[in-house]
Amino acid sequence: MAVAQRVEHQMTDKGYVPVYTTRVVEQPWDEYSPTDHDVWARLFRRQLQILPGRASPEFLDAQQAMGMGEAQIPKFTELNKVLGDTTGWQLIGVEGLLPELDFFDHLANRRFPVTWWIRKPEQMDYISEPDLFHDLFGHVPLLMNPVFADYMQAYGRGGVKAHGIGPDALVNLTRLYWYTVEFGLIRCAEGLRIYGAGIVSSKGESIYCLEDEAPNRIGFDLKRIMRTRYRIDTYQKTYFVIDDFEQLFEATRPDFTPYYAELATLPAFPAGGVQDSDKVYHRGSGKGWLNDGDV
């Protein structure tokens, strides 16, 4: 499929790197192959088998209310009707990762960018970049939840602001996204549950994050999270646990400008460290951890 491509530069931990980006594209639904639909069906079925009792009730309820099914890759136009009637969010198709400012601007306007293409059958267990399954199955259901929907929009607005402040502020804010939107856990009466999109879209990490002895599970603490490095190539060493989405929304309501200034004077924490002030649900054994590679 022809897509307009352009090169931009994005600040990362390794300095400015070129990113190949595309503008918004219409989901080329008719072009999905039988294999694409089958990959969707197998991933969908597999996650729905392991997520009950592991994913948060909010996620599972929203997932069901959205009406995604396993029979075929959902159409963005159909999901948009449901989302539009519920919280007013809209999905837009994209080729892949966007420049940060574009991404923030979409979120600030309640538009969620979804990668239109799906992984290949040999990538069922691991893929290094977001694809349709991660974006749609992982991120989109919680956009149905009113509090989470507002959090995502506020995050986008905060991102636009942090972008204007500078790269260090963006690093702080990106860590928050990582440890909440992507890899967050939530406490409920029966125990810890998953709400992070990076976890719910991964079979291995859905089990690991809750049941393995290795990772830390620590209570949510905004500035602590904004100081904490993370992993992009292994399961997380630490998961942070919120009490509910209201806690997340309330903690992030203040203007972060003074927080960024304060954090700029403090050293970062390693991904696997435990601090004295942490509320520890589980202290990880560290089994199987790689020593380097925190970003």
Contacts of ligand PHE in 27-46 (CB under 6 A): none
Virtual torsion, Cα 171, 176, 180, 181, nearest 10 deg = -50
Asked if residues 284 and 214 have their Cβ atoms less than 8 Å apart, the reply is yes
Asked if residues 11 and 162 have their Cβ atoms less than 8 Å apart, the reply is no
Q: How far is the CB of 227 from ligand PHE (least distance, A)?
A: 15
Exactly one of 46, 161, 223, 282 binds ligand PHE (CB under 6 A); that residue is 161
Residues with Cβ within 8 Å of 31's Cβ and at least 6 positions away in sequence, in order, are: 1
Is residue 196 involved in binding ligand PHE (CB under 6 A)?
A: no
Q: In which residue are the tokens 């951890």 written?
A: 289
Site residue total, ligand PHE (CB under 6 A)? 11
Q: How far is the CB of 252 from ligand PHE (least distance, A)?
A: 3
- CA Rg, the chain, in Å? 18
Q: Which residues pair with 191 in a beta bridge?
A: 188
Q: How far is the CB of 113 from ligand PHE (least distance, A)?
A: 17
Q: Is the CB of 158 or the CB of 272 nearer to ligand PHE?
A: 158
User: Furthest-apart CA pair in the chain: how many Å?
Assistant: 55
Residue 182 annotated as part of some ligand binding site: yes
Asked if residues 68 and 138 have their Cβ atoms less than 8 Å apart, the reply is no
Contacts of ligand PHE in 249-288 (CB under 6 A): 252-256
Is residue 247 involved in binding ligand PHE (CB under 6 A)?
A: no
Virtual torsion, Cα 131, 220, 248, 140, nearest 10 deg = 20
| Residues 120-159 as x/- pattern, contact with ligand PHE by CB under 6 A | -------------------------------x--xx--x-
Contacts of Fe ion in 247-286 (CB under 5 A): none
C-alpha 207/C-alpha 50 separation (Å) is 8
Is residue 85 involved in binding ligand PHE (CB under 6 A)?
A: no
Binding site members: 134, 139, 182
Binding site for Fe ion (CB under 5 A): 130, 197
Binding site for ligand PHE (CB under 6 A): 151, 154-155, 158, 161, 176, 252-256
